[in-house]
Amino acid sequence: MRIVFAGTPDFAVPCLRIAAQRNEVVAVYTQPDRPAGRGRELTPSPVKREALLRGIPVLQPENFKAAISREALRALQPDLMIVVAYGLILPQSVLDIPTYGCWNVHASLLPRWRGAAPIQRAIEAGDRHSGVCLMQMEKGLDTGPVLLSQSLDIGEQETGGQLHDRLSALGAQVLGDGLGLLRVGLRPVARPQPAEGVTYAHKLDKAEARLDWSQPAVALADKVRAFNPWPMAEALLAGERLCLHGAVALPLQHDAAPGTVLQAGRDGIDVACGEGALRIRVLQREGGKAITAADYLNGRRDLGIGA
């Protein structure tokens, strides 16, 4: 098969490796190099770096609106285009070019969590399960029929970064299964997504990361997990703004105002919420590194050390 691969972030790299195992990837599409780091130097995407290591030609159009971009894709004569977190919505004129159309690896159990941030939204919502779908792409946003899928359980303390890595590996496995079928002439059966249960995983916004202590502790604990490692949950604690790396919800009954420190000890800092309390275990001061609550309290004697 002649495969064209389209992807950009780290999540897509394992899928590129699977697709390239038999030297079938004739070209890789990825987002244009973007400024990054303190020097704001143009930086290639993780997928571009992987492609260059493998000697695969890389194309980086801003989009496919220009006829020349579509003709360049058509000239590759692809049998299949594989799309994994590419960052562009492909028009129908592009989806129609490959012989077998375009396949997408999506990190959720569709139709739940269509859109840009399915991993973080699943954790934020308190979901207990997630997974990966291999989907035949349509013009709509993640609306296409599902070819293959695989589910997994979300750990009680699993962060967005940890789930990202597990789903990235699972996505490569599911893609490999689909390619194996196609190579022997068996096209996976396309099953339409159910009309019920559709949710959208909107793109993360750093402003969302600020915790509102009036919310239930369970919701805040889920947000802390979901937004680790980015954008990281932020909270105002005893007059200081902190990033929270690890926290758990406690079913405590209290009459304290939300945001009040109930207890500060070696096990963590317990903060009153609208319902229950949030025990902060790992945090980060501005300009510092992640430390345990116990280490933080060494420099905040005003909070006191509980039992």
Query: Three-state secondary structure along 110-124?
Result: CCCCEECCHHHHHHH
Backbone angles phi, psi at 260, to 5 degrees: -75, 135
262 labeled binding residue: no
108 labeled binding residue: yes
Distance (Å, rounded) from C-alpha 56 to C-alpha 128?
39
**Cα angle 33, 37, 40; round to 5:** 60
57 labeled binding residue: no
Joined tokens for residue 123:
């954790």
1 burial (CB, 10 Å; 0-12 / 13-18 / 19+) is: middle
Position 70, amino acid: R
Q: Contact at 8 Å (CB) between 289 and 299? A: no
78 labeled binding residue: no
Distance (Å, rounded) from C-alpha 63 to C-alpha 86?
11
Backbone angles phi, psi at 304, to 5 degrees: 85, 155
Joined tokens for residue 286:
């501005």
Distance (Å, rounded) from C-alpha 253 to C-alpha 251?
7
Binding residues are: 108-111
What are the binding residues for (6S)-5,6,7,8-tetrahydrofolate? 108-111
